[in-house]
Structure 1
Amino acid sequence: MLVEIKGIGIPNKGAELMLVAVVEEFTRRYGEVDFVVDPNTDFLGRSRYQLYQKGWMNIKGLQIGYLIDFMPNKLLSRFGIKKDKDIDIVVDASGFCYSDSFGPKNAYEQVSRYISRWKRQGKKVAFLPQAYGPFENPKLASMMRSTLEKADIFFARDEQSKKYLEKIGLKDVAQSPDFTCLVEGVIPNDFSTEDAGDVCVILNNRMIEKLSVADGKSYIENMTKMISLLRSYNMRPFFLLHDGLDDKPLTESINNNLEEPLKTYYYEDPKEIKGVISTASIVISSRFHGLVSALTQGIPVIATGWSHKYQMLLDDYNVGDFLADHMDYSDLVKKIELLKDEDKYTLIKNGIVQEKKRQIQKTKDMWNLVFKHIQ
């Protein structure tokens, strides 16, 4: 069996964790499975997971990957290349890729251009739970409706995404939470909670990219003041890099403004990232999968974010009030003070643990449906 996984982007650790989830689940169900990805991930990233490279390249709108179909498999195997026509199942694990924010060209090149061909070839196509929308662009709305109608199965990850899909005319939209909850974290051998601390802070460079200059500046200032506040409460914060090294300059700029810089941790393995998160008592994150990894391990969070997916995730765990306004430092203070109260902390944590069990069962049910439709 040859399975193509679309939408994963190494070294983004959230996307990489979704890759791990797909590989683990397919391997658990079928045993020997080969996985292939587009050649937009470098060799070292692919090699860690023994992923084949798809013979696929778009040059000025022309897909020259089809020429690979005429080359002998024996030759291609030496270079770890697989043909598009030999793929049995296409699994889209994009996370958040189909929206006005990314535009119709992205959706077209990712899936819409090829899905009719895939179906003619007999491939099964599954879109795993992810955030969608909004679709105010008519071209994108029409494209996504047509694409998802051709898929064997698709899921919205949250209620708002489901509404966006229904608004463009899709019926019977299934909903299921983020599917990385079944991946077990691993605490790195060289990580010590005594050395690190008890409050894990995960920043996101996209908070600077997606916001105005003034809002981005406010985000940095408030994160800096927040760390000083945590220390004044005898909490011990530390930085965890969740997206390769993209967020490193942001953590460095904040550390430069602190009298005592925070320790910063980074690991290549996303399961180790999740393991580090499991050691914290509180996770303050602007990375979506940093929040997911905390909540699915029963850890209270404070979130800042730039899209509806953050609010929807917190609502799933009945902690919607813990999405902080990054522009309002007093809002951050209120949320920290709530979690500083031992009784309130315990109540919130117990509620998250109970909801975690339901989210895990929903994910297991989702996978059962996926395998039912692609067999």
Structure 2
Amino acid sequence: MIIEIKGVQFVNKGAELMLCAIHQKIMELWPDAEIALAPNVNSSYMDRAKYGAWQKLSLRKYPFDFNRLTYVLPPFIRKALKKWGIITEADIDIIFDASGFAYGDQWNTVMLEHALAEASRMHKHNKKYVFLPQAFGPFTQAKNQQLIKSSMNKASLVCSREETSYAHLTRLTGELPNISVYPDFTNALVGAIPEYYDRENFQVCLIPNNNMVNKRNPNKQWASSYINFFVLAAEHAINLGFKPYILNHEGVDDLDICRQINNKLDMPLEVISEPDPIKVKGLIGGAKLIICSRFHGCVSALSQSVPCIGTSWSHKYEQLFSEYGVPEFLISSNFQPEQMKGLMKKCLCDNQDVVDVLNERSKHYKSKTDEMWHEVQRVINNGN
């Protein structure tokens, strides 16, 4: 059995964390399964080879998709490709789509079109296409709406990551047995503390996100206040007697934001660019407070009962903080400095009630992740 893990990469640490979580679960539930990964600009051959993955040959070039032709390739060609470690869609039995947030009005319609076309082909050939927990929507564009209505029922299982995404889908499809709600599944993954970790110097972790100030963010007010938000957070952490640092959660674009923050500080902070996503989660788990704009950074904090103050560029953040019982810790673009300082003081100096809430919510959502994998296992093993 060959399982493709789709939508993951090695630059965005959240996407790589999802890959780690899926791979770990595949080895537990289907130990004889083989995995496949498709190349992309953020997924090099060497990175994919570490997982012993088949290399998926995708006959797709924006906006064209010729992968349907792989089903009519002569067997001797597919066999020859396998000698080089290359497979096609026709060789794959199951696709786990872990795109995170890639289908909705904030993204190119072609991404949704290609995904649902692939799900339809898998359905036609009695194979499985599973959308693992991720954010969906909104879908206000006519083309997106038509695609959801006509093809989402072809997926074997669709896991919305929260109620808002579920509503975006079912508003168009109606209630379907293959559409459910489950939380982000990286919550159950255990982090590891890196060898260089120093609890006394890594106390308040700042995690920026370039999406907050680019065209994907519908709230344009953040463009003028975002850097100052982190500057204020760093300065106030120091005033309270704590040591902040910056954690780069995704590549060069986020690193540029890190540098902009440091350029406005009297004393630049240490910037950590940890390549191992498990150690990234370990760093987050060891902090006293996370101030974060990366979704999986927020999940890694909240699921480890670490107080987190966040910002948002899509509905997934509002839902996440609400689910963990701390909606007041999500900051809006028109925040007041005193509001920020008050939240930081509560998280750093008087946080037991916050930690208690996070402990209870974390246990609940980890149990929901277990339920999700049981459902995935049922769909895969029972053939329906």
TM-score normalised by the shorter chain: which range applies? over 0.9
**Residue identity matched to 2:212:** M
| CA distance in 2: counterparts of 1:64 and 1:294, whole angstroms | 41
Unpaired runs of 5+ in structure 2? none
1:41-79 deviation digits (Å, cap 9, x = unpaired): 321331232222111132364445535944534532343
| CA distance in 2: counterparts of 1:213 and 1:133, whole angstroms | 19
| CA distance in 2: counterparts of 1:76 and 1:294, whole angstroms | 43
Q: TM-score, normalised by structure 1?
A: 0.94
Structure 1 stretches of 4+ with a deviation exceeding 3 A read 59-75, 210-214
Alignment of 1:66-145 (within 5 A): 66=69, 69-70=73-74, 72-109=77-114, 111-145=115-149
Unpaired runs of 5+ in structure 1? none
In the alignment, structure 1 residue 164 sits paired with structure 2 residue 176:
no
Task: Decide whether the 8 Å contact of 1:125 with 1:374 is kept in 2.
Answer: no
SS in 1 for 2:173: coil
State how many pairs are aligned.
Answer: 371
- For residue 267 of structure 2, the aligned residue among 253, 260, 263 is 260
Task: Decide whether the 8 Å contact of 1:324 with 1:335 is kept in 2.
Answer: no
1:123-175 deviation digits (Å, cap 9, x = unpaired): 11111111111111122012123332111111111111111112112314411
**Residue identity matched to 1:334:** G
Using the TM superposition, give the Cα deviation of residue 338 of structure 1 relative to its aligned residue in structure 2, in angstroms. 2.4
Task: Decide whether the 8 Å contact of 2:70 with 2:88 is kept in 1.
Answer: no
| CA distance in 2: counterparts of 1:277 and 1:289, whole angstroms | 11
Residue in 1 that maps onto 2:55: 53
1:279-319 deviation digits (Å, cap 9, x = unpaired): 10111100000000111111111001100100100111101
SS in 1 for 2:135: strand
Alignment of 1:200-349 (within 5 A): 200-209=205-214, 210-211=216-217, 215-330=222-337, 331-342=339-350, 345-349=351-355
**Residue identity matched to 1:33:** A
| CA distance in 2: counterparts of 1:144 and 1:102, whole angstroms | 14
**Residue identity matched to 2:96:** V
- For residue 186 of structure 1, the aligned residue among 177, 188, 192 is 192
| CA distance in 2: counterparts of 1:60 and 1:179, whole angstroms | 30
SS in 1 for 2:3: strand
1:256-300 deviation digits (Å, cap 9, x = unpaired): 211111111111111010011111011110000000011111111
SS in 1 for 2:123: helix
**Residue identity matched to 2:37:** V
In the alignment, structure 1 residue 24 sits paired with structure 2 residue 58:
no
| CA distance in 2: counterparts of 1:365 and 1:228, whole angstroms | 42
SS in 2 for 1:155: strand
SS in 2 for 1:235: coil
Task: Decide whether the 8 Å contact of 1:222 with 1:327 is kept in 2.
Answer: no
Residue in 2 that maps onto 1:5: 5
Residue in 2 that maps onto 1:373: 379
Residue in 2 that maps onto 1:356: 362
Identity in percent: 33
SS in 2 for 1:193: coil
| CA distance in 2: counterparts of 1:267 and 1:301, whole angstroms | 20
User: Comparing 234-243 with 35-44, which one deviates more in the overlay?
Assistant: 35-44
Relative to 1, partners in 2 of residues 1:61 and 1:302: Cα closer, same or farther, differing over 3 Å?
Answer: closer
**Residue identity matched to 1:371:** Q
User: Comparing 280-289 with 73-82, which one deviates more in the overlay?
Assistant: 73-82
Relative to 1, partners in 2 of residues 1:73 and 1:105: Cα closer, same or farther, differing over 3 Å?
Answer: closer
User: Comparing 183-192 with 266-275, which one deviates more in the overlay?
Assistant: 183-192
SS in 2 for 1:177: coil
User: Comparing 318-327 with 291-300, which one deviates more in the overlay?
Assistant: 318-327
Superposed CA RMSD = 1.9
1:315-339 deviation digits (Å, cap 9, x = unpaired): 1110111101233242322321322
Task: Decide whether the 8 Å contact of 2:206 with 2:230 is kept in 1.
Answer: no
| CA distance in 2: counterparts of 1:234 and 1:294, whole angstroms | 21
SS in 2 for 1:246: helix
Task: Decide whether the 8 Å contact of 1:52 with 1:81 is kept in 2.
Answer: yes
Relative to 1, partners in 2 of residues 1:253 and 1:190: Cα closer, same or farther, differing over 3 Å?
Answer: same
